[in-house]
């Protein structure tokens, strides 16, 4: 099995646009609410849920840290709903995604997300499960519940991809 090194790039809304939305202050319209004491950073991402009995769930995921080097052997996707992650501990983490070709993920792309940036994976986007760094980290997660199979996994048969450092 061949190892292919992935270069890590900074997470920006422009670079991540083919896969979903970056969730962070300063990107969307700002509305002043509650007697002007609250800034609402409006419509940074939206959910996309389909299927019978689909409902939007709000969860907290607690992720154990991954140590470098990180080997990427598989990706998953959710065909019935988008999935958003917002870090709660202000800790950096990796985001790994891939374009789809004929139902198969292509070569992964790796991003380093700052601890104040969340991501919203569009429905059907191939991505790696949470990749917290350094410490146990909590994430607020918005995803789909309800009937139907909303998880597909793909294991790379010939290659493993590796993230060996977080310097960008």
Residue with tokens 């080097």: 69
Residue with tokens 């422009």: 14
**Contact residues for 14 (Cβ-Cβ < 8 A; gap 6+):** none
Q: List the one residue out of 121, 129, 139 whose CA is nearest residue 81.
A: 121
pTM of the predicted protein model: 0.92
Distance CA 17, CA 122 (A): 9
Q: Which 8-state DSSP code applies to residue 66? A: B
Q: Note the pLDDT tens digit of each residue in 26-85.
A: 887 888 889 998 888 888 898 999 998 999 999 999 999 999 999 999 999 999 999 999
Classified as helix, coil or strand, 16 is helix
- Tell me which fold the domain 2-163 belongs to: Jelly Rolls (2.60.120)
Delimit the domains of the chain by residue range.
2-163
Residue 123, CB-side half-sphere exposure with 13 Å CA sphere:
12
């Amino acid at each position: 099995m061949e190892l292919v090194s992935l270069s890590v790039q900074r997470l920006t809304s422009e670079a991540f646009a083919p896969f979903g939305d970056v969730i962070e202050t300063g990107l969307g319209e700002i509305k002043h609410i509650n007697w002007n004491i609250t800034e609402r950073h409006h419509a940074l991402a939206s959910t996309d849920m389909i299927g019978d009995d689909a409902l939007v769930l709000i969860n907290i995921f607690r992720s154990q840290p991954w140590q470098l080097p990180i080997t990427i052997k598989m990706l998953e996707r959710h065909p019935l709903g988008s999935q958003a992650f917002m870090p709660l501990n202000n800790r950096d983490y990796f985001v790994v995604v891939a374009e789809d070709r004929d139902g198969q993920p292509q070569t992964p792309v790796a991003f380093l997300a700052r601890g104040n940036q969340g991501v919203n994976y569009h429905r059907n986007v191939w991505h790696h499960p949470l990749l917290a760094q350094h410490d146990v980290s909590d994430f607020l997660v918005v995803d789909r519940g309800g009937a139907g199979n909303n998880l597909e996994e793909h294991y790379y048969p010939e290659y493993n991809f590796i993230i060996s450092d977080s310097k960008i």
